[in-house]
Amino acid sequence: MEQDVLKQVMTTAQTWLDGNYDAETKAQVRAMMEADDKTELIESFYRTLEFGTGGLRGIMGPGCNRMNKYIVGQATQGFANYLLKSQKNNAFAKPVKQVSVVVGHDCRNNSRLFAETVANIFSANGIKVFLFEGLRPTPEISFAIRHLGCQAGVNITASHNPREYNGYKAYWEDGAQVLTPHDNGIIEEVNKTTVDDIKSEANKDLIQIVGGEIDYDYMEAVRSLRIDEEVIKHQKDLNIVYTPLHGAGRVIIPLCLRSWGFQNIHVVPEQMVIDGNFPTVVSPNPENAEAMTMGMNLGSKLNADLVIASDPDADRLAIVCRNSKGEWTIINGNQTCMMFSYYIITNMKKLGKLKPEDYLVKTIVTTELIRKIADRQGVTLTDEYTGFKWIANRIREWEGTHKYIGGGEESFGFLPYDAVRDKDSPASICLICEIAAWAKDHGMSLYEYLLNIYMEYGFQRETTINIVRPGKTGADEIKQMMSNYREHPITEIAGSKVVKTKDFQLLKQTENGVVSDIVMPAKSNVLQYFTADGLKVSVRPSGTEPKIKFYFEIPAEMKSIKDYDKATAEAEARVPAIRKSLGL
């Protein structure tokens, strides 16, 4: 079997030596072919990097299973073909004489090269390109697509992945990542495009460099979502430490904070340096405590109220504040989403800004406490699939009849307005600082603000378990796990009876033996279990990585804010029993 794979890989690699590739690329391929250890060669050529519903993401290097200018070129040519067909078929919201796109990128190695490659190919196909002059946050790319009236966009980014990775995100005219039917149409065009089909002679007349003017309009949109300007005036000296982790938020986020009225902003100087190698962190993922170390150290030195980070493409945020012992603690993604939702609802209501048509969104794996808050306050809340393209889909479907006021997911992403259709850390960071200002104005820390929400709505602890199974055998194993759960329904978890099961693959739910339909925009390979004592378990294979994810939402008793640590420990003590019930 291994010899068959190697033979196929050698044949594929030889096509790169014989094909229309540059000398440097051919030399790198030849070196891999001649090496005694063929591991790198196999990894680079055993398959073609798949253009999925969101675009591309992979390790950089030569080869068909790597991110390089040729794979980026094929993707762009296929995307261009689809856009031109859409123009001909009147598939856009409005007829257009000139198809136009926005192209942006983050701080990663080769991001500028790939972005210019994308711009050149689009222009060679007669498509107008608005190319950002330098790195910009992902949400600003989404904003620019709608703001400039473009039909699509491409952002070169691998978000918070390790330094070896880069990626290609495809957006549609509403500023959201592409959905059906456009995703399948683009994939079909990309799959039938070869390197010889790429039109690479740029039409410079069709490439317009943009920057500051879009920055200003984007920051004005961010500024417009302030809820309580008075508390910001009272707490303009809120002590804020911010780090962009070497990425795209480095300039615009401090500027946005100042435009809101915050004046005491400090940055981590070592991490303000644009560097795709991310030299100060092991991984540029703000979900990891290690990535926040330098920010917390500076926060301690300056006695800061809170420390905030954005990831390399500035769509996600992380918040660190002091707990009751004065120690820095990271607010997890569920807590972040819950605090945003609670503040938006309660403070808009107090100020008379909340309207009957206003609604919030969360993903199906995000804490159910947000639903409790929305239901008690009489605010509409919808559940969507994981990924902000589904939140954007809801905004698009309800545009004109309902008003979106916020939505997010447990993986450190939130969008507090509809001017953007993707996660937005500049806007979210400004809003969390307003929340911290409100709390301080009322004699609380941000941490105490969080605990008071638990006291009002009940405590639940969220835990995620990732089971990694790489390769084809791993994929088969994950598929079998999901089949086993469906063929042998789980009736009890950690000693509590399962009272409701949701199967989003079948779009059916069973509650106390009664089967009913689930209304969602599409099917998804997700299972959820709800028990009699309030436990919620979600099971979801990852769509981008070789793993299956288990989300536990575990209730525990919290009689006072002093019981938070005790309740947390009580909930976490149930994890082994939950895992056992699931066969993990």
pLDDT in tens, the chain (584 residues): 467 888 999 999 999 999 989 999 999 999 999 999 999 999 999 989 988 777 899 999 999 999 999 999 999 999 999 999 999 999 999 999 999 999 999 999 999 999 999 999 999 999 999 999 999 999 999 999 999 999 999 999 999 899 999 999 999 999 999 988 999 999 999 999 999 999 989 999 999 999 999 999 999 999 999 999 999 999 999 999 999 999 999 999 999 999 999 999 999 999 999 999 999 999 999 988 999 999 999 999 999 999 999 999 999 999 999 999 999 999 999 999 999 999 999 999 999 999 999 999 999 999 999 999 999 999 999 999 998 999 999 999 999 999 999 999 998 999 999 999 999 999 999 999 999 999 999 999 999 999 999 999 999 999 999 998 877 677 888 999 999 999 999 999 999 999 999 999 999 999 988 999 999 999 999 999 999 999 999 999 986 667 899 999 999 999 999 999 999 999 999 999 999 999 99
d(CA 239, CA 265): 6
Let me know whether 469 and 380 are in one domain: no
Amino acid (one-letter) located at 429: I
Pairing of strands 358-363, 508-511: unpaired
Let me know whether 544 and 564 are in one domain: yes
Let me know whether 252 and 339 are in one domain: no
Within 13 Å, how many C-alpha atoms sit on residue 137's CB side?
A: 33
Decide if 232 is inside a domain: yes
Within 13 Å, how many C-alpha atoms sit on residue 131's CB side?
A: 24
Is residue 416 within 8 A of residue 225, CB to CB? The reply is yes
Among 210, 242, 260, the domain boundary falls at: 210
Domain count within the chain = 4
Dihedral over Cα of 364, 356, 144, 255: its sign: negative
The pLDDT of residue 83: 98
d(CA 416, CA 342): 12
Decide if 113 is inside a domain: yes
Decide if 479 is inside a domain: yes
Residue from 266, 265, 260 nearest 233 by CA: 260
d(CA 50, CA 45): 12
Residues 503, 507, 508: CA angle, nearest 5 degrees: 65
* Bridge partners for 306 per DSSP: 240, 321
Let me know whether 57 and 205 are in one domain: yes
Residues, the chain: 584
d(CA 289, CA 258): 27
Let me know whether 439 and 563 are in one domain: no
d(CA 431, CA 333): 15
| Residues whose CB is less than 8 angstroms from the CB of residue 403 and which lie 6 or more positions away in sequence, other chains included | 355, 357, 358, 359, 418
Amino acid (one-letter) located at 330: I
- Structure tokens belonging to residue 462: 């969220």
R_g of the chain computed on alpha carbons: 24
Decide if 33 is inside a domain: no
Decide if 249 is inside a domain: yes
Let me know whether 106 and 172 are in one domain: yes
Question: What secondary structure does DSSP assign to 196-257, as a single string?
Answer: GG------GGGEEEE-HHHHHHHHHHHHTT-S-HHHHHHTTT--EEEE-TTSTTTTHHHHHH
Query: What CATH number does residue 559 fall under?
Result: 3.30.310
Let me know whether 470 and 416 are in one domain: no
Residue from 200, 214, 225, 191 nearest 47 by CA: 191
Let me know whether 178 and 266 are in one domain: no
Give the orientation angle of helix 425-441 with respect to helix 333-350, to 10 degrees.
60
Pairing of strands 547-556, 536-541: antiparallel
Is residue 571 within 8 A of residue 334, CB to CB? The reply is no
Is residue 421 within 8 A of residue 412, CB to CB? The reply is no
Task: Match 């393209």 to its residue by tokens.
Answer: 389
* Bridge partners for 167 per DSSP: 57
Query: What CATH number does residue 194 fall under?
Result: 3.40.120.10
| Sheet (strand 317-322) strand order | 265-267, 240-243, 306-310, 317-322, 328-331
Among 457, 486, 515, the domain boundary falls at: 457
Annotated active-site residue 159? The verdict is yes
Let me know whether 106 and 202 are in one domain: yes
Among candidate residues 86, 100, 159, 496, the one labeled active-site is 159
Let me know whether 85 and 187 are in one domain: yes
* Domain that residue 388 falls in: 334-457
Question: What secondary structure does DSSP assign to 284-313, as a single string?
Answer: --TTSGGGGHHHHHHHHHHT-SEEEEE-TT
Let me know whether 148 and 232 are in one domain: no
* b/e code 341-362 from CB counts within 10 Å (16+ = b): bbbbbbbbeeeeebeeebbbbb
Among 457, 481, 514, the domain boundary falls at: 457
Decide if 161 is inside a domain: yes
Let me know whether 431 and 339 are in one domain: yes
Decide if 429 is inside a domain: yes
Within 13 Å, how many C-alpha atoms sit on residue 241's CB side?
A: 26
- Structure tokens belonging to residue 366: 């995000």
d(CA 553, CA 569): 13
Decide if 42 is inside a domain: no
